[in-house]
Amino acid sequence: MPGVGKGTISKRLESEFGIRHISTGEILRKASQENTEISRKIRGILNSGNLVPDDFMCELIKNEIRQDEKKFILDGFPRTFKQAQVLSEFVEIDATLYFTAKQELIIKRLEKRAKDLEEFREDDKKEIILNRFKLFEKNIELLLQYYRDRKLLREIAAGMDIETVFKHTKEALELD
């Protein structure tokens, strides 16, 4: 879910356990700042809150993961059923974390983030947030089913304070 805190939790996992955090959103935001045709296209998609096409995303993630890398956290990928299928062809997933929170709480958090200059993102504007939610809702059920069927799904209530959410995340991943 957009704004549910997956980036914050992933960064903590990275710093405490040395597991590399790969955020497709961050990679795309960086790529969107260059002055090329493809960057302009990415920028347009990000700013509208739409999803970058599956083929592009699958290539991006294939290039990002190193062959010799044993552990990593994928943050924001897969976001569609197709992405999950392609991912399974070259990566063995240990667990899929699904962070949940009430939509009203998330909207409040995102609106707060939109006011923070350091964290400012064009796609945290109200109407764009609503589009991101719409796409999330369109894709999530199939993804949940996919990972539930494979017994990889761990659900985490993410509306609580960060320490509690982090504790539950570590438990879900059997880390400590």
Name the minimum Å distance from CB 131 to ligand AMP: 9
* Residue 74 · residue 80 · CB < 8 Å: no
Q: Give whichever of 64 and 155 is closer to ligand AMP, judged by the CB atom.
A: 64
Piece of the chain touching ligand AMP by CB under 6 A; list 45-53, 105-113, 142-150, 160-168: 45-53
Please tell me whether residue 5 binds ligand AMP under the rule CB under 6 A. no
Site string for ligand AMP, 125-154 (x = CB under 6 A): -------x----------------------
- Interacting residue with ligand AMP among 22, 28, 84, 156 (CB under 6 A): 28
Q: How many residues does the chain have?
A: 176
Please tell me whether residue 51 binds ligand AMP under the rule CB under 6 A. yes
- Interacting residue with ligand AMP among 22, 46, 87, 156 (CB under 6 A): 46
Measured at the CA of 21, the angle between CA 92 and CA 27, to 5 degrees, comes to 105
Name the minimum Å distance from CB 70 to ligand AMP: 22
Size of interface with ligand AMP, in residues (CB under 6 A): 17
Please tell me whether residue 52 binds ligand AMP under the rule CB under 6 A. yes
User: Can you spell out the DSSP letters for the chain?
Assistant: -TTSSHHHHHHHHHHHH-PEEEEHHHHHHHHTTSSSHHHHHHHHHHHHT-PPPHHHHHHHHHHHS-TT---EEEES---SHHHHHHHHHH---S-EEEEE--HHHHHHHHHHHHH-GGG--GGGSHHHHHHHHHHHHHHHHHHHHHHHHTT-EEEEE-SS-HHHHHHHHHHHTT--
Cα 40 from Cα 60, distance rounded (Å): 17
Q: Which residue is nearest to ligand AMP (CB)?
A: 25
- Interacting residue with ligand AMP among 76, 86, 96, 143 (CB under 6 A): 76
Q: Which residues bind ligand AMP (CB under 6 A)?
A: 2, 24-25, 28, 45-46, 49-52, 57, 76-77, 79, 83, 123, 132
